[in-house]
Amino acid sequence: MRSTGEVMGIDEAFGTAYAKSQAAVYGPLPVKGRVFVSVANRDKRSMVFPVKRLADLGFEIWATEGTGEVLRRNGVRATIVRKHSDGPGPGDEPDIVARILAGQVDLIVNTPFGSPGQSGPRLDGYEIRTAAVRRGVPCVTTVQGLGAAVQGIEAIQRGEVGVRSLQEYAARLRAVPVRGDTPPDRPGTAS
């Protein structure tokens, strides 16, 4: 895994394992602050619940116009920010990439847009994700990852993210009955 830069997180709960893996990449997931959300049309409906959960956890939500409209229609308050392709606004209002680089965003949710014919959205997404890497901001690129990130943030807030050795995990796995079986008294023996 060294050659590809992959990381892994292990825990009994998926969200906690995800939080650990993200800590290895970016540092810990944020537990407060500002979340920027811009997703492809195919992901708009499925991102509503996890983004609403982030708002319930106290995060301020920023979104592009289309994503923000879907959130608003579903009861989630979001501040609309300018797309990168729109450039600076009136009074030199910064676009989202400038805001990310200025340290104003703590978590990014940006699902890539599909075809090369959509060069505007594709370029925006590329610039957003590049700014995230440059600034070291966690960037989630799938709705499934967003759900895992929310679970991880909840686990961090509850203080459930800890460290155990692989031997401790293995011992716990041996102690858990599989399909109603009772665990053997000793490894390699039947009871």
pLDDT tens for 103-123 read 999 999 999 875 555 555 567
Cα 109 from Cα 184, distance rounded (Å): 46
Confidence of residue 36 (pLDDT cuts 50, 70, 90): very high
- pLDDT tens digits for 47-69? 999 999 999 999 999 999 999 99
Residue 18 has what pLDDT? 87
pTM (2 decimals)? 0.80
Topology annotation, domain 31-164: Rossmann fold (3.40.50)
Q: Quickly list DSSP for 67-97.
A: HHHHHHHTT---EE-B-GGG-S-GGG--BHH
Cα 54 from Cα 32, distance rounded (Å): 9
- pLDDT tens digits for 65-83? 999 999 999 999 999 999 8
Confidence of residue 190 (pLDDT cuts 50, 70, 90): very low
